[in-house]
Structure 1
Amino acid sequence: MADIVLTTLNARYGHTAFGLRYLQANLGELAERSVIMEFDLQKSPQEMASHIASVNPAIVGIGVYIWNSRLIADLIRQLRAQMAKALIVLGGPEVSYEISPELLELSDVVISGEADLEFAKLCRRRLGGRSLQEKTLHSQPPEPCDLALPYELYTDQDLAHRTLYVETSRGCPFSCEYCLSSVERSVRFFPLQPLLSSFKKLLDRGARHFKFADRTFNLNLPHCMEVLRFFLREYRPGLFLHCEMIPDRFPAELRALIQAFPPETLQFEIGIQTWNPEVARRIQRIQDNALIAENLHFLRQETGVYLHADLIAGLPGESLDSFAEGFDRLAALQPHEIQVGLLKRLRGTAIGRHDKEWAMHYQTTPPYGLLSNKLLTEGEMDKIRRFAHYWDSIYNSGNFVGAASLLWQEGSPFQRFMYFSEALYAEFQREHGIALDDLAAALYRHLTVASPHSPEIIGSRMARDYFHSGRPRPPSFLKEYANNMLHHTPTPSRPGLQRQARHFAAARLEK
């Protein structure tokens, strides 16, 4: 039995709910009366409610995010049916700035902002028999030095099979209007001594994959470099660090430190979003495009970093031609992944101020994606969405990184892949649920018609992709090209890092 249940729906099992662990770590004397129950989107609200009700809690704290908000209302209804007296408390980004009337009505209390300490105060009042007056509570951002760190709450199962989230700072100094991080402008840094001590304990327990939740990991260079030096000193085989970096902030001393890491140890997520200076200014994004290009070239050509770069389609004032030009510019720098995101009107962000001038039309329910604007029709946005999904399945995934590059050895990568994307949609009439071998066959047929390469070159490249993605048995149409692959060893991968393993294998083969 437990008096307090902390719960949420993660997007998939491999993710861990970082926020819930912070809440439990900061419950103080109430922590032993609490339990974390994580679910994923495969569970039904009825199943989740039954599991929660089985411990008969007095308080249920639920994390609400863009990917799970539609299911939370159903979960609360199921909880009410099974345990009417429990206090239902909501928190998280999806209820911190604008909350739907439905969720507000269904819940007992909503905490906006960082609830690490506020939730504990609420629990003490409730379990102490004191009444709760407010329906909504706003939590001021706590100072990191006042927080108990949650890292001991990661289980051995988490360490073995799931991504561990960590952080060295909170907040963002920038004002990009599409981003929720811009709402809280201050940046707060965690004291390094207790933080690094916690990281050391995780390493000693066997943790190897760390994903930093910092929005701007390299903002404070001395702080950033001390963390990186720690992991370099404590390097263990299999270590992998995933950090979100400011794209135009890689001075010489940081470059040298990055180069000191063994290859295939670091992943940098770098948001470009747009190469169009006018569009960037319009959304309050400040960046030096020339310096960004120089930094990306350095990272890709002179380090062993895995490079993931982001672009956003649909920003106010960016046409399809402008976006295509930006995509081609980024593709020429050869990041391992290019994530094409569609603009969303996230609750609390300032992007909505452009709605009238640029005729911005969004979905009214999560994920609040852009449907059309003054420069992009709904049909064009649909094409970009399909492009993004197929690009992710074929190139970002590493499944066909070698063969896919044959599509655009001459001409515009964006235009060539868009042509292929529309051909795929015409054939399958869907974006999801296409078997890998069917995608391979479609790519092979397209390349034999639309590229200047011979079937032998195309087939050999695709067979190599299959083999180095850890799939030594290619489909029948590729078997005649696979004989020369038999002396190679298939590429091993770690849980959650299959994409990276495929891209690294392809890169090693090119050297």
Structure 2
Amino acid sequence: MKTVLATLNAKYIHMSLALRYLKAYSEKEFDIELAEYTIKDPAMNVVTDLFRRAPDVVGFSCYIWNIEETIGIVRMLKKIRPDVRVVLGGPEVSYDTQYWMERLPEVDFIVMGEGEETLHHLLTELRDGSNKFHFVFGIAYRGRDGAVVLNPGRPKAALDDLPSPHYFADDVPQLPTRVVYFETSRGCPFSCQFCLSSIEVGVRYFDIERTKRDLLHLIRSGARLIKFVDRTFNIKRDYALEIFQFLIDNHGGSCVFQFEITADIMRPEVIAFLSEHAPPGVFRFEIGVQSTNEETNEIIQRRQNFAKLSRTVTMIKESGKIDQHLDLIAGLPEENYESFRKTFNDVFALGPEELQLGFLKMLRGTGVRARAADYGYVYMDHAPYEILGNDVLPFSDIVRIKQAEDVLEKYWNAHRADASVRYLIDEAFPSAWDFFQGFGAYWESRGWERIGHQLEDLFSRLREFVAMEAAAALPAAEGLMKLDYFRQHKYRPRKLWWDMSLSPEEHAFWMRRLVERPLDAGEPFAALRLSERELHKQVMIDRVPFDLAAYLADGVVRVGPGTDSLLVARFSADAERRADIYAMPLSSAAVI
């Protein structure tokens, strides 16, 4: 009996952890292949590949991001292979399972909850032909009369009885270019009503020595990015500290580790330890804030001390060692547009490297979905079940928030114009939200969401918006946009989005001056000892209307008489890094 375990990943770079657990648990007794696709793959291509594999059983791992595409594939597959047994599993079908069995007559079985032991038992019954499915805890199946039968759930597995999913030889060549998912525990201690993790009671841990062995194997096998899927990695302080120390000692210089942490319970001594010992860039933290509205947090049973959270985020940021990704959810109960504006500004003020703005999804099995009528929620009928409005946040406000989210992703989270955006928020707009909302609305009014864009377009469109909405800030903002644009390049850009402010004669003069008096651009530039030929190949210059040297030193934009500077961008010959920026004053002292 041949079994193919398949899933549609959100992106090609992802590797399904669930499929690997299932295969590792059952491969000694069953012929099991893994088949990973993406949600962008044409259904016909996926079905053709599965058909060629000639399976007797096909299992699909189902999530909100792939369930609708999976349904289309299952229906096609059953038309050409009506004899194949189809099994669904995963969080999307583990709740409202009766609904899924009734909606999808092509599906023979659904595995509910943890699947390793349940799938093994089901495959045993199918292989042996005994068909005693009523003994298989944790499955849904169809009885002889066609009626759906939901068996009782299976007790939670002893985690250390599960074979490791990280030792398949076929995975090793992929590790350097894929995201590796890893867990040290299962379960969550919190009860956030929008999250499926709130349904499971308690937290179970894998043996820490096993965890270390698996991590060391992945690092030595070439993994470059390992994302820990633990819902709250730092809930058990001693365990987390030991893993942090192990990774500090064994990261190998090229592997990055991402954790989901709860910031308001992180102890100062843990932050101090990381600040002192963590190598820069090796750790990333994802922190779910979701909302700073106290009434909202009480409704969704989310205990959160924002003052402590802010302290943690600030201390981590000041260490300069760890990038932070903070999450917000728009549309939570009793959070209207103005409340969400405050939440956004509260969190943006913490200066995260990335601020993810998501929208509430009414997941099957969650408390917010069960109480949807209490708050007047309307939402999509099918996955991803995103909200369309509620009693305090109409669809029109959701549209406005989505406008802001669009430009937030393009500019802040993509780090394409950090200096420009930071200046505009601080100097030209009432708040960060007002900048992103205003720019997002302008972007949509110009129809730019319907057309593509290159890097130059992002800057020219930002300039157009500033010229319309904050003209007084435009000169300095445009200078910072030039700086940001050069910093986006490893190679000397072939075209610019602006007209050079230096005339050809001025440009020639200052290029000669850089050859003759490189110290005017600072000692680091002079130390490059560039020849005239190298200078013309590697350097671009233009005027900016503020003291660039002061800005590079302290991040403050100083404008006024005599502050104009020459922006000197040097692009390394080996292109190993992006442009280095130097400043040259345009005062009379420098000209003499």
Decide: shared fold, TM above 0.5. Answer: yes
- 1:385 CA displacement: 1.7
- Give structure 1 stretches of 5+ with no counterpart: 494-500
Letter in 2 for 1:283: I
**What does 1:96-495 correspond to in 2, within 5 Å?**
96-99=94-97, 100-101=99-100, 103-134=103-134, 135=141, 136=150, 138-153=153-168, 155-259=171-275, 260-410=277-427, 411-428=430-447, 430=449, 433-451=452-470, 455-470=474-489, 472=491, 473=493, 475-478=495-498, 480=500, 483=541, 484-489=567-572
**Alpha-carbon contact 2:490-2:575 (below 8 Å) kept:** no
Distance 1:243 1:19 in 2: 18
Post-superposition shift, 1:480? 2.9
Amino acid at match of 1:418: Q
**Offset at residue 145 of structure 1 (A):** 1.2
- 1:176 deviation in Å? 0.5
Amino acid of the structure 2 residue aligned with 1:413: A
CA distance in 1, matches of 2:268, 2:352: 21
Q: Give the counterpart letter for 1:198 in structure 2.
A: D
Which of the pair has more CA radius of gyration? 2
Single out whichever of 282-291 and 423-432 deviates more from structure 2. Answer: 423-432
Partner of 2:554: none
Q: Which amino acid in the other structure matches residue 120 of structure 2?
A: A
Question: Counterparts of 1:286 and 1:457 in 2: how far apart (Å)?
Answer: 43
Partner of 2:34: 36
Equivalents in 1 of 2:451, 2:261: separation in Å? 31
Take 1:252 and 1:490, find their aligned partners in 2: how far apart are those partners?
44
Q: Which amino acid aligns with 1:477?
A: W
Question: For residues 92 and 401 of structure 2, what CA distance do their matches in structure 1 show?
Answer: 26
Paired residue secondary structure (2:500): helix
TM-aligned CA deviation for residue 485 of structure 1 = 5.0
The residue identity in structure 1 corresponding to 2:43 is P
Change (3 A) 1:149 1:485: farther
The answer (yes or no) to whether the contact 1:313–1:342 under 8 Å persists in 2 is yes
CA contact (8 A) 1:114 1:141 kept: yes
Q: How far has the Cα of 1:211 moved from its partner? A: 0.4
- The offset of 1:103, in angstroms, is 4.9
**8 A contact 2:188–2:198 mirrored in 1:** yes
Give secondary structure in 2 for the equivalent of 1:383: helix
Shift in Å at residue 373 of structure 1?
A: 1.0
> Structure 1: which amino acid aligns with 2:10?
A
Q: TM-score, normalised by structure 1?
A: 0.91
Question: How many Å apart are 1:461 and its aligned residue?
Answer: 2.2
Q: Aligned-pair distance for 1:436?
A: 3.6
Which residue of the partner structure matches residue 5 of structure 2?
6
Kindly state the Cα deviation for residue 249 of structure 1 after the two structures are TM-superposed: 1.8
Query: By how many angstroms is 1:78 displaced?
Result: 1.6
Deviation at 1:268, TM superposition (A): 0.4
Deviation at 1:432, TM superposition (A): 7.5
Instruction: Give the C-alpha shift of residue 55 in structure 1.
Output: 1.7
Post-superposition shift, 1:467? 3.4
- 1:310 and 1:338 in contact (8 A); partners too: yes
Local SS of the residue matching 1:54: helix
Q: Residues 487 and 105 of structure 1: is their aligned pair in 2 closer, same or farther, counting only changes over 3 Å? A: same
Closer, same or farther: CA 355–37 of 1 in aligned 2, 3 Å = same
Q: 2: distance between equivalents of 1:475 and 1:307?
A: 34
**1:264 CA displacement:** 1.2
Find runs of 4+ consecutive structure 1 residues off by over 6 angstroms.
490-493
Q: CA deviation at 1:25?
A: 0.7
Tell me how far 1:206 sits from its aligned partner.
1.6
Q: Structure 1 residues 84 and 485, CA, compared in 2 at 3 Å: closer, same or farther? A: farther
Shift of 1:492: 8.1
- Secondary structure of 1:26's counterpart equals helix
Q: Is the 8 A contact 1:467 1:485 kept in 2?
A: no
SS of alignment partner, residue 318 of structure 1:
coil
- The one of the two structures with greater contact order (alpha-carbon pairs below 8 A, sep at least 6) is 1
TM-superposed deviation, 1:395: 0.9
Return the letter of the residue paired with 2:162.
Answer: L
Partner of 1:89: 87
Instruction: Provide, for residues 452-499 of structure 1, a one-character-per-residue CA deviation record: whole Å limited to 9, x for no partner.
Output: 666553333223323333464275324637534531549989xxxxxx
Distance 1:30 1:254, change over 3 A: same
Separation (CA, whole Å) in 2 of partners of 1:155 and 1:441: 43
Structure 2 vs 1, CA of residues 475 and 405 (structure 1 numbering), >3 Å: closer, same or farther?
Answer: farther
C-alpha contact (below 8 Å) 1:316/1:354 kept by paired residues:
no
Decide which moves more: 116-125 or 215-224: 116-125
CA-atom RMSD in angstroms: 2.5
> What is the aligned residue count?
497
Deviations 1:390-410 (A, max 9, x none): 211211111222222233114
Counterpart amino acid of residue 80 in structure 1 = K
**Matching residue within 48, 57, 60 for 1:59:** 57
8 Å contact kept, 1:469–1:491: no
The Cα offsets for residues 367-399 of structure 1, whole Å up to 9 and x where unpaired, read as 111111111111111111222122112111112
Q: Call closer, same or farther: CA 1:131–1:273 in 2, change over 3 Å.
A: same
Question: Is the CA contact (8 Å cut-off) linking 1:470 and 1:491 kept in structure 2?
Answer: no
* TM-superposition CA deviations, 1:107-144 (whole Å, max 9, x none): 00001101022111211221222215350554433121
AA partner of residue 25 (structure 2): N
1:462–1:478 CA contact under 8 A, matched in 2: no
